[in-house]
């Protein structure tokens, strides 16, 4: 856990086949992203190769009391945008440090856009993992979910509320909401991020959906 005054951030990239999540903090003050194999956040390599993504596009780093994004490529620019806010172009060799606590790095390749989400955390914020099945107090303030995120969470919870032993699958939620499984997985990852930032106690499940459904069910979120 960072000491008082230090900055940390949760970094997530939702790929079609899996979600990559890293933490940027004093122990790991830099994270490179790009197509190269040793990038902490590897984008544009799988399941379809996107040669429009630079081998090393840029890096995220702790810079003073904020998180900064630096473009390490010599040719291609990428965008940085606050959630639902303005977008800025980061050209080769330039660095940008957004003031917003949540923003996205958008790398446009030949096959589409690759979005890395960053949530800057307060020095004292961290996820607390439950060690037992006992009820725990709800977070204060609770996570601020969008209408779409709330609909996804409710769709996952629906079978449990109906008395079934398991939550809904990605396919069931996608069919219920008339969306793709990729869209559903992306919203689930966003919910996980918001639970994390709000310090919602979550158990250490290998699947994000198991973690958020369990937390929502136990805390009444």
Q: Which pLDDT belongs to residue 83? A: 67
Tell me whether strands 87-90 and 66-71 are parallel, antiparallel or unpaired: unpaired
State the architecture of 8-121 in CATH terms.
Answer: Sandwich (2.60)
| pLDDT above 60: residue 5 | no
Q: Do 59 and 32 contact (CB within 8 A), yes or no?
A: yes
Q: What percent of the chain has pLDDT over 70?
A: 84
pLDDT in tens, 162-175: 999 899 999 999 99
Give the residue range(s) of CATH 1.10.10 domains in the chain: 147-219
**Residue listed under structure tokens 């992203």:** 33
Q: Do 102 and 86 contact (CB within 8 A), yes or no?
A: no
Q: Do 182 and 160 contact (CB within 8 A), yes or no?
A: no
CATH level 3 topology of 147-219: Arc Repressor Mutant, subunit A (1.10.10)
Strand locations in 43-180, DSSP E? Answer: 58-63, 66-71, 78-82, 87-90, 95-96, 102-109, 112-121
| pLDDT above 90: residue 203 | no
pLDDT in tens, 19-56: 787 888 888 899 999 999 999 999 988 878 999 999 99
Give the residue range(s) of CATH 2.60.200.20 domains in the chain: 8-121
CA 21 from chain centre, in angstroms, equals 7
Distance CA 92, CA 124 (A): 34
Q: Which pLDDT belongs to residue 213? A: 92
The band of 124, judged by pLDDT with boundaries at 50, 70 and 90, is very low
pTM over 0.95: no
The band of 141, judged by pLDDT with boundaries at 50, 70 and 90, is low
| pLDDT above 80: residue 81 | yes
């Amino acid at each position: 856990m960072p000491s008082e005054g230090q900055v940390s951030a949760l970094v997530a990239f939702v790929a079609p086949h899996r979600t990559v999540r890293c933490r940027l903090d004093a122990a790991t003050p830099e994270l490179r992203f790009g197509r190269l194999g040793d990038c902490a956040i590897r984008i544009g390599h799988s399941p379809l190769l996107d040669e429009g993504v630079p081998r090393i596009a840029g890096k995220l780093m702790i810079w003073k009391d904020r998180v900064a994004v630096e473009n390490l490529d010599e040719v291609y620019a990428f965008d940085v945008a606050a959630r639902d806010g303005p977008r800025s172009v980061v050209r080769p060799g330039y660095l940008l440090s957004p003031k917003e606590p949540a923003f996205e790095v958008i790398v446009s390749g030949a096959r589409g856009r690759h979005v890395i989400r960053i949530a800057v955390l307060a020095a004292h914020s961290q996820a607390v993992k439950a060690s037992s099945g006992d009820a725990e107090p709800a977070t204060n303030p609770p996570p601020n979910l969008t209408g779409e995120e709330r609909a996804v969470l409710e769709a996952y919870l629906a079978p449990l509320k109906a008395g079934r032993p398991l939550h809904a699958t990605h396919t069931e939620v996608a069919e219920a909401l008339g969306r793709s499984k990729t869209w559903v997985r992306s919203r689930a990852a966003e919910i996980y991020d918001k639970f994390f930032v709000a310090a919602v106690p979550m158990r250490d499940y290998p699947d994000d959906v198991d973690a958020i459904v369990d937390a929502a069910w136990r805390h009444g979120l």
